């Protein structure tokens, strides 16, 4: 067997439990071709919190109680799934790279650090996996993609929605023609149970600051929606959108640790509403808000897709004759053995684990992961088109945003980072 791929983790914050859960799922499926060999954190206590059961500070309580939120993943230790190698703790990326202990790096640090860390690692010859969104601006994301291409290395984006079995099954049903040609799509959500109307999202004030977050839910959630749209119905051609900041003062939730600021002033959106035109000719409407007083509302299953012969509501196909079919049941009954195996390889169902498996396979084979840097850049452009359209007061083409021809919203961000 080839030597295990040695992975360094940069950033030991609240999203790391979901990543470790995914890696744990791979080991439980007897996928043994990787080791976590390094942890980087400015505060070594943050790294020791994840390294080995019985050492370091106690786990932080999950920031979310929503079981579908990655931030609600239970705490994990590397020692829970790896007992033959102890990860070394490093104070910075340069020291980790100089140690020669990693072949690849996963970046779970906050968004404004993605591009500088990724380019540093790629230039030093290390493959990279980065949390979504890819970067804080299109120029920052382009620098990452260019660095990976120049070095001939694999750049992956942790866009885990693509690997969720339910989304795989929905795409299979659409490709089979179960609802005919896709005509209309809706992904509509107003308000959230935990962050509305004015709570600091995920105890992270930076999410409300433009030069650190890039945008509000237009980017943070927009990339997820963009990826689902693109995966199920092809690329988006144009976006016409309005963003708003309804609650410029965000406040600390009662259960937040004292280290979180009591309040912060937001200069990014907390609500967006957009119309999308797909390259296929399909059209749709998408929205998401952190604002919203009273009860939140959203589409069951998160997205509805209407075709020329029926529709998909969440996990159900509704045909023109009124019959309803559960997509998972249909998939189990009619998918080929190869299709079944491809949806949950090695029996793994954890979306983070499947994203890591795809990236590791790409490193081994020299191919590209499905959620490659190029894919992440297109998601980024589709999401940033929401903010750019709102600033422009007109629809914008995704191609123009991705190429940097339309960037009025992002200019302040790029200037801040010297991009």
Buried (b) or exposed (e) across 292-323, using 16+ Cβ within 10 A?
beeebebeeebbbbbbeebbbbeebbbeeeee
Mean pLDDT of the chain: 96
What's the pLDDT score for residue 352? 97
Residue 42 scores a pLDDT above 80: yes
- Give the separation between CA 64 and CA 352, rounded to whole angstroms: 18
pLDDT of the residue at 333? 96
Tell me the percentage of the chain whose pLDDT exceeds 70: 100
pLDDT at 236 over 90: yes
Q: How confident is the model over 378-400, as pLDDT tens digits?
A: 999 999 999 999 999 999 999 99
- 38-65 burial by CB neighbour count: b if 16+ within 10 A, else e? bbbbeebebbbbbbbeeebeeeeebbbe
pLDDT of 300 > 90? The answer is no
Return d(Cα 45, Cα 57) in angstroms, integer: 6
The β-bridge relationship of strands 310-313 and 316-319 is antiparallel
Per-residue 3-state assignment (H helix, E strand, C coil) for the chain: CCCCEEEEEECCCCCHHHHHHHHHHHHHCCCCCEEEEEEECCCHHHHHHHHCCCCCCCCCCCCCCCCCCHHHCCCCCHHHCCCCCCCEEECCHHHHHHHCCCCEEEECCCHHHHHHHHHHHHHCCCEEEEECCCCCCHHHHHHHHHHHHHHCCCEEEECHHHHCHHHHHHHHHHHCCCCCCEEEEEECEECCCCCCCCECHHHCHHHHCHHHHCCCHHHHCHHHHHHHHHHHHCCEEEEEEEEECCCCEEECCCCCCCCCCCEEECCCCCEEEEEEEECCCCEEEEEEECCCCCCCEECCCCCEEEECCEEEECCEEEECCCCEEEHHHHHHHHCCHHHHHHHCHHHCCCHHHHHHHHHHHHHHHCCCCCCEHHHHHHHHHHHHHHHHHHHHCCCEEHHHHHCCCCCCCCHHHHHHHCC
**Any long-range contacts for 340-343 (C-beta under 8 Å, 24+ apart)?**
342/168, 343/165, 343/168, 343/169, 343/172
301: pLDDT strictly greater than 80: no
Domains of the chain: 5-162+347-371 (3.40.50.720), 165-345 (3.30.360.10)
According to DSSP, the β-strands at 297-298 and 189-190 are: antiparallel
CA distance 304 to 184: 8
Digit-coded pLDDT (tens) for 152-169: 999 999 999 999 999 999
Distance of alpha carbon 14 from alpha carbon 260, whole angstroms: 13
Furthest CA-CA distance within the chain: 64
Read off the tokens for 341. Answer: 């195996």
Residue 6 tokens, joined: 């040695």
Query: pTM of the predicted model, to two decimals?
Result: 0.96
Describe the crossing of helices 114-123 and 138-151 by its angle, rounded to 10 degrees: 10
Mean pLDDT, residues 12-32 taken together: 96
Q: What pLDDT does residue 344 have?
A: 93
Query: Tens digit of pLDDT for each residue in 116-131?
Result: 999 999 999 999 999 9
Contact present, 402 and 378 (Cβ < 8 Å): yes
**Average pLDDT for residues 336-354, to the nearest whole number?**
95
The more confidently predicted of residues 54 and 21 is 21
* Average pLDDT of span 324-347: 95
Distance separating alpha carbons of residues 85 and 390, to the nearest angstrom? 50
Q: What is the pLDDT of residue 49?
A: 95
**Residue found under tokens 């579908």:** 68
Q: Compute the C-alpha angle 80/27/158, nearest 5°.
A: 95
CA-based angle 92:95:96, to the nearest 5?
85
Res. 1 pLDDT band, cuts 50 70 90 = low
Q: For residue 419, is pLDDT > 80?
A: yes
How far apart, in Å, are the Cα atoms of 154 and each of 25, 126, 147, 227, 354?
22, 8, 10, 19, 16
Q: What is the pLDDT of residue 174?
A: 97
């Amino acid at each position: 067997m080839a030597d295990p791929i040695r992975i360094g983790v940069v950033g030991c914050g609240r999203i790391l439990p979901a990543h470790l859960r995914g890696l744990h799922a791979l080991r439980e499926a007897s996928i043994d071709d990787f080791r976590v060999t390094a942890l980087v954190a400015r505060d070594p206590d943050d790294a020791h919190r994840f390294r080995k059961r019985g050492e370091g500070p106690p786990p932080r309580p999950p920031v979310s109680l929503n079981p579908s939120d990655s931030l609600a993943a239970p705490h994990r230790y590397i020692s829970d799934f790896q007992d033959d190698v102890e990860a070394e703790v490093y104070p910075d990326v340069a020291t980790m790279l100089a140690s020669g202990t990693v072949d690849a790096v996963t970046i779970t640090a906050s968004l404004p650090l993605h591009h500088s860390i990724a380019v540093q690692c790629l230039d030093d010859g290390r493959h990279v996996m980065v949390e979504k969104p890819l970067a804080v601006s299109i120029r920052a994301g382009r620098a990452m993609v260019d660095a990976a291409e120049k070095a001939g290395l694999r750049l992956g984006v942790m866009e885990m929605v693509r690997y969720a079995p339910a989304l795989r099954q929905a795409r299979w049903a659409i490709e089979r023609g179960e609802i005919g040609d896709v005509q209309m799509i809706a992904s509509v959500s107003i308000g959230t149970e935990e962050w509305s109307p004015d709570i600091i999202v995920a105890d992270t004030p930076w999410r409300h600051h433009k030069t650190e977050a890039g945008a509000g839910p237009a980017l943070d959630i927009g990339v997820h929606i963009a990826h689902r749209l693109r995966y199920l119905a092809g690329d988006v051609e144009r976006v016409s959108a309005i963003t708003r900041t309804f609650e410029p003062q965000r406040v600390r939730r009662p259960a937040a640790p004292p280290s979180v600021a009591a309040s912060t002033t937001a200069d990014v959106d907390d609500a967006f509403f957009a119309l999308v035109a797909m390259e296929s000719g399909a059209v749709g409407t998408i929205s998401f808000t952190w604002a919203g007083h009273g009860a939140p509302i959203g589409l069951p299953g998160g997205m509805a897709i209407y075709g020329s012969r029926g529709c998909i509501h969440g996990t159900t196909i509704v045909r023109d004759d009124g019959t309803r079919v559960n997509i998972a049941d249909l998939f189990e009954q009619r998918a080929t053995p190869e299709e079944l195996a491809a949806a949950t390889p090695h029996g793994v169902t954890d979306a983070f684990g499947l994203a890591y498996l795809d990236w590791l396979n790409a490193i081994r084979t020299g191919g590209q992961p499905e959620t490659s840097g190029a894919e992440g850049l297109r998601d980024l452009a589709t999401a940033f088109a929401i903010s750019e359209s709102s600033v422009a007061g007109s629809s914008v083409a995704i191609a123009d945003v991705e190429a940097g021809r339309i960037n009025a919203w992002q200019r302040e961000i790029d200037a801040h980072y010297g991009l």
